[in-house]
Amino acid sequence: MTLAPTLDALALPVAWTDGEGRIAGCNPAFARWLGVSARRLEGLPVTELDADDGRLARLVARLPDETDPVRARRVRLRAPGGADRFAELLLAQDDDGLRLEALPVEEFPGAEPASDLPAALHAALRGLAHEIRNPLAGLKGAAQLLARRVEDEESRTLVELVESECARLAGLLDRLLDPAPARPLVPLNIHGVLERVRVLAEAEAGWTVRLERDYDPSLPEVLGDADRLTQALWNLVRNALESGAGTVVLRTRAERRALIGAVVHRLALRIEVEDDGRGVPEDLTERIFLPLVSGRAEGSGLGLPLAQQILREHGGALTYRSRPGRTLFILTIPVPAGGVEGVADGA
């Protein structure tokens, strides 16, 4: 496989087979995940990893009839002499054989892939954090110098925006490089977060994109981390800008009896980011929330997985619908029963 050197650097477990369905190789993350050496796996029929009553074999058998990769949740695998491992699998047919990507999940019954940050995302973000530190420091210094020279109100506002964004990004980097316990969620008005994102979008897109607001002013406060939610929403809006959108709509609504995961919440906030851009490519519709998957050659493939993780931190969910000319990302955040005041006071 020509991608082997690249795959070796990934924290995402990946293996590939020859034309006869035998494991021809794997990256170090795959061997570590299964708890065996890569040499021990080579030559093994991939279906022998099955610890799920033939489920893997049935998935492999589907590949010749599928035009898209086959994705399966909570598949149980076991290496020779190893313990059971649970993962969300993505199986794809290559010219030389089969490619298998595994997103590990907690190894106990009932675990869902949505409950954990993929290891690949965590590793990739730490690497990016190191690379971003120096240019970010330069931006902050330049903004401070510029602040001494501008005089008109509009320019000062933009400089303050640059400084505040540098501070926010520095905080995110600190959390990636030196993880600390998550900050407590506090009561906040989601429209304040959306307005910050709107200002960022207008500063980047200028007059090339029309930004529309469709807010429900009667919405209650929600428990959240303003910086993290800003990051999630900005990732979605920036994706819209980069998809060639001419109009981006920010919309808020209340949703009663909202189903998030397996739990029905009495009340939730529904935040929508809608655009009229090119939409999600058909070949990525099943994989856009996987780390390192992007529809653009210059894309990192980290924005959507990070946004999804931030929503999970808030007990919420991120979903989407897309077709050319209309893409809609929906963020759902539950409102605590009894409102946020009681929860915050009791924290």
Phi-psi region at 255: left, alpha or beta (left = phi > 0; alpha = psi -120 to 50): beta
Instruction: Supply the mean pLDDT for the chain.
Output: 78
> Residues 165, 218: one domain?
no
Question: What pLDDT score was predicted for residue 274?
Answer: 92
| Beta carbons of 267 and 256 less than 8 angstroms apart | yes
Question: What pLDDT score was predicted for residue 72?
Answer: 83
Q: Which of 111, 132, 155 is the last residue of a domain?
A: 111
> Residues 147, 291: one domain?
no
Q: Which of 87, 111, 135 is the last residue of a domain?
A: 111
What integer is the mean pLDDT of 82-108?
77
Question: What pLDDT score was predicted for residue 106?
Answer: 47
> Residues 254, 273: one domain?
yes
Higher pLDDT, 35 or 333: 333
> Residues 172, 212: one domain?
no
222 closest CA partner among 182, 189, 197:
189
Mind listing the pLDDT tens digit for each residue in 278-300? Answer: 877 776 666 666 655 555 544 44
Mind listing the pLDDT tens digit for each residue in 147-193? Answer: 778 778 878 788 877 877 777 777 666 655 555 455 688 899 999 99
> Residues 156, 212: one domain?
no
> Residues 341, 236: one domain?
yes
> Residues 44, 159: one domain?
no
Residue 291 tokens, joined: 């780390």
What CATH number does residue 67 fall under? 3.30.450.20
Residue 99 pLDDT exceeds 90: no
Mind listing the pLDDT tens digit for each residue in 311-345? Answer: 888 889 888 888 888 889 999 999 987 666 655 44
> Residues 336, 275: one domain?
yes
> Residues 296, 208: one domain?
yes
Using pLDDT thresholds of 50, 70 and 90, give the confidence band for residue 86. confident
Number of domains observed in the structure of the chain: 3
What integer is the mean pLDDT of 73-92?
82
Whole-angstrom Cα distance, residue 186 to residue 222?
Answer: 8
* AA letter at 4: A
Q: Which of 92, 111, 130 is the last residue of a domain?
A: 111
Domain residue limits at 229: 185-346
> Residues 207, 328: one domain?
yes
Residue 216 pLDDT exceeds 90: yes
> Residues 334, 204: one domain?
yes
Question: What pLDDT score was predicted for residue 323?
Answer: 83
Question: What pLDDT score was predicted for residue 249?
Answer: 93
Name every residue whose Cβ is closer than 8 Å to that of residue 240 and which is 6 or more positions away in sequence: 248, 273, 275, 277, 327
**Extended beta strands in the chain, E state:** 14-17, 23-26, 70-78, 84-93, 98-105, 186-188, 210-214, 222-224, 247-260, 263-275, 317-323, 326-334
Question: What pLDDT score was predicted for residue 111?
Answer: 37
Question: What pLDDT score was predicted for residue 267?
Answer: 92
Higher pLDDT, 206 or 186: 186
What integer is the mean pLDDT of 93-117?
61
Strand partners, 98: 93
What CATH number does residue 231 fall under? 3.30.565.10
> Residues 213, 85: one domain?
no
Whole-angstrom Cα distance, residue 198 to residue 237?
Answer: 9
Using pLDDT thresholds of 50, 70 and 90, give the confidence band for residue 120. low
